[in-house]
Every structure is written in C-alpha cells, then in structure tokens.
Amino acid sequence: MIRTTEVGGGSILVSGEDSLGCFEVDGSRRWVFRFSRKAEVVADNQTFTYSARQDGVSPLVVVPETGLVYLAAANAVLYALDMRSGDLVWLWRESATTFESITYGDGRIFVSTTDFKQYALDAKSGAVLWGGEFRRVSSWTTGYFRGMLVRPDVDGRVWGMNGTTGLIAWRYESGAEIQYQWDPDLHFHSSGLGFMMNLRGTIWAYNVTNGAIVWRADASAGYRSALDRGDDRQTFEVWGDLVIVHSLEAYSTGSRGYGLLQALDVFTGKRVWIRDNVLRGRCGMVITQNQLVYTSFTVASVGTYTSFTAKISAADAAGNDVWSIQNDNMECMGQLQELGGVVVALQADTRNRTTLDGTVYVVTLPATPSVSCPPDIKSTPDTAGGPSGDVVAPQAPASPPPPPFVSRVPYCWRQSFSYKPLGSPTADGVRAYGQDNAGLVLAVYLETGAIAWKATCGPDGIAARYPSNVIVVDGVVYLGCSNLEVQARDAVTGHLLWRHVHVTPPDRTLVTGSLLGYPAVVNGKIIMTRPDGFLRALNITNGEEVWRYDTGARAIDSVAVRDGVVYGIGRDGEGPDPNLIRVGSVIALDVDTGNEVFVRDLDRWAMEPGHLNFHNGTLVYATGWPDARIQAMSIGRDAGGNVAWTYGIPQDTGVWTVLVVAGEELGLPHDALFYHSDQGRVTALALGSDGPTEVMWTLDLTDTELWPEVENLLTPGPPDWAQISYSNKTLYIPTSQGMFVAGATDGAPLWTDLRSRLNSNIFVIERPGGPQVVYGRYLNSFESNTPQCRPNKPSGGFTPLQVDSVLTTRPAASPAPSPAPLTSSPNDVVASASPAPSPAPAPSRSPVPSPAASPAPSPAPMPSVSRSPSPAPAVCPPCPAANCSAPTQSASAPAPVTVALGLSGLPYSLVKADSKLRDRVAGAVEKLVSGKVTGSVRVRVLGVDSAAGGKAAVLRLSLQRSGGASASAVSSAVEDAALSGKLQEVVLAAKVPGKVRSVVVQV
C-alpha cells in the first residue's frame, strides 16, 4: 500500500509484508520500520511464514493531527509510529488475526480483522474503546465521515456505525459483493453523501447519517452485452459536484480492451459526460492542480505471450486528456497518490512473471508543467536486515506454545490455515489433508483433530493463487501448490518426497492463474493441468516430466482416466482479451504417451473443477456461460468425441459443474444428475441412457421458509470452483454463503452451516454415529463436524464484544534487537492451531484405510508395563541434622509410588515447556487411581525426560498415598488401567493427544 502526507515536509509511505518505508519526495529513504511475521517450523525442518492480507499489503493510515502513521501490520499487531522518525509510540497486539482495513476519524483508529471483528482505539493512547463481531469479513475499503464509520462487507452489506459507541445506526443490502481493488478509502461529498459500488457495476449515493439511498445508477448502462463476465467494479473520485467513475474491466460492446470513464452529478447520478475510448482502470485517480489524474493499463498479446503497460493520464473538467505517460512492462500496485502537485505511483516490473517475482518502484511525475519534480535519487535497495538505523518492532513476550488440540467430541474439530482453504480436502481414514492459497498444508487426525503435521507448499503468501484439490494415493499426498509447483509428500510424516518446480516457457504467459481441480494418478504418473496451457504427466517416483500436451490458450481443470485415456475439459477466455468469445473443448489423450486421441471444440464455454462425470459411455459436463446447457460427449478411442445429447437449462444463466450419481446408490430405478445454478436453485434430473428424462425436484436455497437462516444473505450461488458432494443419499452443497445439506432423492432440507462461504468441495465419511463432514470455510478454517457438533444457525449480522480498555503496550526506551522468526505466539489464530516443530509419530501408513470404508484409526498397541524394585533410600552421612542434605521422611507418611509414563506423539520440548499439560495428565491419573483404591492418592509431577531423540517424552509422576491406600493397590490400579486402555482414555480426555506407549511403576 502507498500513502502520501504533507507531514514532515512531505512524505511517501509504502508498506509491504514485513516493513513500512518512509521516503522523501525526492525518493531518498527517511526511515524503515521492520517487523516479523508469525512463522512456524513445519515438516522437513522448513519454516512457514504466515500470510499477510491476500494482496500482501499491511494497511496503513496517516493522521496529521497526531503526527503518527498507524500500521495494521501483517503480524496482527497495530503499530503507531512517529511520522518524522519512525519511532514506535504504542502498539496493540490483541487481535487474533491480521487486518483487512484501517481508517481514522475524530480521534479514533478503526481496524477490521480477518476474523470478522471491528475495533475502535484511541488514536493517541491506543486504548480500545469498543469492539464488535460481524457475520462476514469487511471489505478492504472503509471510511469515516461526520461521526459515522461506514463498513461494507464482501457479501454486499453496508453498515453504518456510530463511531463513538460502536452501535449500528443503519444497514443496506446491495445485492452483490463489495470489494475494491486498491482504493483503501471510501469517498464522501461535503453535503453528507457517500458513494459506493458493487461487483455488478451498480453505483449509489447514500445519506451517511441514516443510510438512505439518494440515487442509483448502472455504471455500464448502454454498454452491456451477453458477453459481460459479471465483474464490473469501478474506482471513484469526488471532484467538486462530480463523481468520477472509471471501470476496472473492459466493456463488451466496443473496441477490445477499452473501459468507461464518466462523470456523474453528485446529487442526481445523471451522466454529465462519458468517454468510451479510454483504457480500463486499475489503481484509481487523484485530483491535483485542477486536473483529474487517472491510471489505466494495457495488455498486449503475441501468440501466447502477454506484456503489460502502466499508463497515467490527466484530464480536464470536461474529461478531455491533457497529457499521458506510460511505462512498458510495468503494472500499477497501489492507489494513485498526490503530494503538492506531484503525482506518486507504485509500479511493479512484470518481466519476471515466470518466476513470480519482480521489483517494485515508486514513480513520481509533475501534474502540470508548473510543478517541478526534485532530482531523481536512487535509494538504497531495501533488503532484509537493512541499515543499522532501521527501526525494529519489539517482540511479543516469550510464552510457551499452547497445548495440542484434542476434540472433546470425536470427529468434531477446527484448525486454522494461513489464508483461504481453496484446495479441496481429502482423507485416508486416519488423517484429513487440506491446503490453502498461501502455501500451508495441514494433516489432521480425523478423530481427535490433533495436527499430524504441517508443511509448506507454495510462496508463503506471496502469490496466493488457487491450488489444486488434494489427493492421497498409496500413502502419498499429491499437491498442486499456490506457487504452481507440484509436490509429493509422505502421508504419515509430511516428508517431501519430490517437487516439480514450475517454470513458464519464455514464449508463453499464464492463461489462468491457478491449478484448479483434481489431478489423476495412474500407471506410475500424476497428470495435472498447468496454467501455461500445457497438460503434463509426471513420474510419481521422482517428479520428472514424462510427457506434455500443448492446449494453446486453454485451461484444463480436473482430469480423469478411463481405459487408458485421460480426459479433461479445456476452456478459453482467461487470457488478457476481455472480448474473446469464450468457448471450450473436450480433450482426450493417451495416458502413457500424451498423444491426442481426440479434441472436440464446443460452441460454449465449459469447465469441471470437481470430479469428472462418466455415464453410459459418455463424459457429462455443463456449458456454464453465456447460457447454460448440460451435454454428454461419447468417450473412447474409436467412437469418442461426438455429442450424445444436450439438455437446455431454462431461465438459469450460469451452471459450472454437475454431479452424476448411480441409481443403485440412491435406491432409484434410474440414475440422477444434480446441478446448482447461479440463481440459488439446485435441481435433480432423472437420467436415462439418452439423457435427462424428467425433473425429480428443484430446491430453492433462497427460500426463507425452508431455510430461515438465509434471510438477509446474498443469493447462495455456487462457488466458481466447487462441486456438490454426495454420500448416503445426501447432498452437500457448497455455496457462496455456506453449506446446505439436503436429501438426494427428494430435495428435503436437512441442515446448514451458513457462517461463511465455502470455496472448495466437501469431503464426507460415513460413521456409525452419523456422517463426518470435512471442509474448508472462509476465511481460513479447516473443520470437521458430525451430528453431535453441528454449528448453530447464525442470525443477525453483528454482536458487540466485551473489550479491555487497557491493552496497549508502550515501547521501552530503546528498541529491541533484530527479531527472529516466531515459532509461537499468544495471538495464534485459534487456540487449536498448535505449532508443530516436528511431525508427530502417527499410526502405520501401510495399509492405509480407504476413506469410503470410513474406518476409525487402528487402536494403539497396549503400552508395556513393568515394575522395578524400589531404589535404595538415600542415606545421609553422620552430620548434624540441621546440615544433613538428605530429605527427611515423616514417620507417618507412606512412601509414594512413582510412575514413568512414556508418551509418543508429543515432542519432549512441548511437554517440557507446557506445565498446564503436565498438570492435566497428573490430574487425570489422580482421578483415575483414586476411584479404584481405598483411601486417596495425590499426584504431582516430578519431571519430564526426553525419549526417541526428542520426539517423545517420559513424564515422571509421584503418587502420594494416604487414608490407607496401599502401594500394591495403587500400582495395580495403574497397571490395570494401562493394560485395559483406560489410562489412554483419561489422558485423551484431558486434552493431551499423546499415545501412552509405556508405563514403569516403582513401589
């Protein structure tokens, strides 16, 4: 993010993932403030650094009244820094997650967090004034005007909050997502009007005090066609009594690549002028020197290679361009700024896109010839560590890591990713596996919810692309990472077996930004799409390429193999040309050679990011855009490639994925096909050999009588890349508003989880007590539930929070030394997200139970139990009693029984550091033994020893007897509990996920 301010004689501030730099107007560096993001040691002793906001930004706001800049840093700490020196004035570290937005008003700093919370803090002291929790995450862009905090959320609601009290004053439902691209600030007019837009291109003016809508306008009215993609976001500026609006996307009825720049009357919304010959916007605009200075960009394609050009232009009050300048191979990266008539832009070099890296520049230029820029000064490159004069943020006080999480109810748990769980999860009967788009992989024990291992698979939050869905085959987890590489990892330990690093060929560009869908593992190969237009087969032993097939500019999502032929559905239209007519194709290749079996072009755009559907010798798919149809194409080497049937979908405009289920699984005399439209309806079709025969049922997910909890939510349409899941005559429907569950044969509503959107598929395991449902939930949750722990139905949209007004830390007189990466923090995202310095030992990987069979993990072997003779008591040499070093034993106190409890699955370092964990084990043993003997037993911890090279621990306990409890009875109670498995049960019940592997009793 970039900001400018007149404070300090003129300052330019640029924030990133781990620092904030302050520059003079001439480009020389004034100071740099550095902080450490949360980091954790994961599998193979690698370090994973937790993500900043998805765009890599640490939001900031400058307040001239206080002379401070407020940095909502990527390590979930809010810093108040002196603008002139960069010195730390105060910090606030009580947020559990990173920040989405920050704004200022009337002496208060307002921050919204990625766990849906909103806080107001005193700008001078950092004291928390109020807090609240919303049902949806905030947009990146918020604003404050005349005592009112305006907070749009990504699902289309706009909230007006009293900035002093935190109470809700008004709410408006816009009907579509609200998410600006770079602009951090909402825009207001002195009359008391605010202006906003949503994803559909609707612009409206509202009364900031009460939220009343003054006017609405369609930004692209007169320029729309059936080819519009639905993303019609705008960027704003207020210029006198004009609202200037610039489209971020190209309109579809004119020349390729052009957007709309227009001026609307502030009070009526009527167009004053419009230009349809400008390039589409990107990084906003500023008003300076009585000119509108705006940004735009061009994209040039030569074959499959794409180049970018950043352009800055100035226009007069009538919208006529006065001047423009462009930088080739550059792309703007932050909201355009102005400082004393000098235009300030942040631009990135795009020539290194093949390595997902590039240099970022601050660019300044005069707004008019009357303004002179200072001489160009090349500042010292900013590197980690930096000059010795850099300001370094103090570290949080050291604290022991939290105890590993163990669910109180079997199969009910929640863990946290670093960012969005976009890779659909899978399981092998023992562990569930998932990954996010910031490069974090989690393996979680299905029953207890304890972390089995964590690993890094991607750029640690730099690129944040869509990863592939996760698959596990023969004890190996295969991953298409968010940095586009492919990995194979041991399912038990997380150990990296191999990686295939992606390098885009120099004459290509990425036709899509992701690795969507399911790979296929067959004949010793993993077959996976790549975003450069190549479908590749890799050797599953070493990751080396076996063959590649060039699809041109097509992107293929999921692939599947039938009878030695690999099938995929390719789609055009994700390249830079916004007016390219989107079409698709079905591609069939020989699985061993990659040779073409057939390729059939479609007259519609098609995709399938879920499991491919094969039915009666055909591949069934949806053509989701511009008007949806369901088709089946014949497969096979000889007769493949012919359209077998087509089914039109009336009234619906978007269907991206379908699901076919055999009739014998449903208990029906026919097969069934299910699809979910973008209008929030799920339809079941009876499927015969020649296509659908009738509609079985239609379920409206927007019907508040069927689903009262959907009231005030947006239409629960299908996420672009998620498919309905089926298990045991039940459908699990992921939507943009959460999960709906319904009967497959009749569409009967069963239950929901509408706490937030789902962006990936749902994995279901049938168990005796009901289905275990595993899924990733926005923003960063990885969770599992059963009928015993289903989430409550949320209602309303806002809940006030009790806050502690004394939460701010003021720094010591001198800054702390340079920080080291954190391995744990009191501000972990959730208490259950436990750091895992080394992978925990786990059940044997061979054989791996099948997820379909839904077995519980194999019971651990009974711990070995042995009894050692009591050691000879310590003998004190003759000496005065006062000086004798041997402990004195009361004549009336019987000798204690000692127990050495061997625990695997818990590293020694963790047990050593966590006194509460040790006390929970002692308390569990005390309660267990006391219930089995006459008298009572008091248990205390003597110490902990390392075992198995530090991967396990031996906990030494003293069992002090009283009230007639004999040593033999106590020791027998311990032995019997160990052999029967009862000791293991009480240890797990105490939220200690270790396995009791040995018990040594001394009497």
Please, are residues 599 and 589 in contact by the beta-carbon 8 Å criterion? no
pLDDT of residue 830: 29
Higher pLDDT, 649 or 596: 596
* Residue of 981, 896, 906, 983 lying closest to 940 (CA atoms): 896
pLDDT band at 215 (very low <50, low <70, confident <90, very high): very high
- Residue 524, both tokens: 């010793």
Give the lowest-confidence range in 206-210, 244-248, 760-764. Answer: 244-248
Flag whether pLDDT at 360 surpasses 90: no
Q: For the chain, give me the number of helices (H) and strands (E)?
A: 5, 75
379-384 long-range Cβ contacts below 8 angstroms, 24+ apart: 379/23, 379/27, 379/28, 379/29, 380/29, 382/19, 382/21, 382/29, 382/32, 384/18
CA 953, CA 973: separation in Å to the nearest integer? Answer: 22
Percent of the chain with pLDDT over 70: 81
DSSP codes, 833-850: ----SSPPP-S--SSPPP
* ω into 779 cis (within 30 of 0): yes
**Buried-exposed string 763-779: b where 16+ CB fall within 10 A, e elsewhere:** bbbebeeebbbbbbbbb
Flag whether pLDDT at 845 surpasses 70: no
Average of pLDDT values for 427-440?
94
Percent of the chain with pLDDT over 90: 46
Residue 248 lies in a domain: yes
Flag whether pLDDT at 882 surpasses 60: no
Average of pLDDT values for 132-148?
91
CA neighbours closer than 13 Å in the CB half-sphere of residue 218: 8
> In whole numbers, what is the pLDDT of the chain averaged over residues?
82
**Angle, helices 982-989/915-930, rounded to nearest 10 degrees:** 140
Residue 199 lies in a domain: yes
Flag whether pLDDT at 408 surpasses 90: no
Residue 274 lies in a domain: yes
* Residue of 169, 48, 1 lying closest to 836 (CA atoms): 48
Higher pLDDT, 835 or 386: 386
The CATH number of whichever domain residue 192 belongs to comes to 2.40.128.630
Helix, strand or coil, per DSSP, at residue 415: strand
Residue 276 lies in a domain: yes
User: Which backbone phi and psi does 941 adopt, to 5 degrees?
Assistant: -90, 125
Please, are residues 827 and 93 in contact by the beta-carbon 8 Å criterion? yes
pLDDT of residue 868: 38
Flag whether pLDDT at 647 surpasses 60: yes
pLDDT of residue 368: 87
| Domain boundary residue, one of 280, 313, 344 | 280
CA 771, CA 750: separation in Å to the nearest integer? Answer: 13
Residue 566 lies in a domain: no
pLDDT digits (tens, 9 = 90+) for 680-738: 999 999 999 999 999 999 999 999 999 998 887 888 888 767 999 999 999 999 998 99
pLDDT digits (tens, 9 = 90+) for 537-552: 999 999 999 999 998 7
| Domain boundary residue, one of 252, 280, 308 | 280
Residue 196 lies in a domain: yes
pLDDT of residue 812: 52
Angle (CA) 527-430-909 rounded to 5° is 105
Average of pLDDT values for 859-874?
40
pLDDT of residue 901: 84
CA 653, CA 657: separation in Å to the nearest integer? Answer: 13
| Domain boundary residue, one of 214, 249, 280 | 280
Q: How many structural domains compose the chain?
A: 2
Helix, strand or coil, per DSSP, at residue 330: strand
pLDDT band at 857 (very low <50, low <70, confident <90, very high): very low
Q: CB under 8 Å to 942, separation ≥6 — which residues? A: 898, 956, 957, 958
Flag whether pLDDT at 190 surpasses 70: yes
Give the lowest-confidence range in 173-177, 366-370, 381-385, 655-659. Answer: 381-385
Please, are residues 87 and 66 in contact by the beta-carbon 8 Å criterion? no
Q: Sort residue 269 into left (φ over 0), alpha (ψ -120 to 50) or beta.
A: left
Beta bridge partners of 721: none
pLDDT of residue 595: 97
pLDDT band at 844 (very low <50, low <70, confident <90, very high): very low
pLDDT of residue 231: 75
Higher pLDDT, 338 or 533: 338
Flag whether pLDDT at 88 surpasses 90: yes
Average of pLDDT values for 597-619?
92
Residue 589 lies in a domain: no
Higher pLDDT, 383 or 833: 383
Flag whether pLDDT at 766 surpasses 70: yes
pLDDT of residue 374: 65
Give the lowest-confidence range in 151-165, 200-214, 635-649, 957-971. Answer: 957-971
Give the domain extent around 935: 897-1002
CA 850, CA 854: separation in Å to the nearest integer? Answer: 7
pLDDT digits (tens, 9 = 90+) for 724-735: 999 999 999 999
The whole-angstrom distance between residue 268's C-alpha and the CA centroid of its chain comes to 40
Flag whether pLDDT at 836 surpasses 50: no
Residue 646 lies in a domain: no
Flag whether pLDDT at 847 surpasses 50: no
pLDDT of residue 225: 65
Flag whether pLDDT at 427 surpasses 60: yes
CA 521, CA 763: separation in Å to the nearest integer? Answer: 19
pLDDT of residue 226: 56
pLDDT of residue 907: 84
Higher pLDDT, 403 or 14: 14
pLDDT of residue 400: 61
**If you search the block for the tokens 């050691």, which residue do you land on?**
871
Give the lowest-confidence range in 212-216, 437-441, 479-483, 965-969. Answer: 965-969
pLDDT digits (tens, 9 = 90+) for 23-82: 998 888 999 999 988 889 999 999 998 877 656 678 999 999 999 999 999 889 999 999
CA 9, CA 84: separation in Å to the nearest integer? Answer: 9
pLDDT of residue 749: 97
Q: In what order do the strands lie in the sheet with 88-92?
A: 60-63, 68-72, 78-82, 88-92, 808-809
Beta bridge partners of 633: 619, 643
Higher pLDDT, 464 or 421: 421
**If you search the block for the tokens 């996976």, which residue do you land on?**
528
How many residues belong to the chain?
1003
Flag whether pLDDT at 124 surpasses 60: yes
pLDDT digits (tens, 9 = 90+) for 94-104: 888 889 999 99
Burial class (CB in 10 A: 0-12, 13-18, 19+), 271: middle
Higher pLDDT, 403 or 590: 590
Higher pLDDT, 390 or 501: 501
pLDDT band at 748 (very low <50, low <70, confident <90, very high): very high
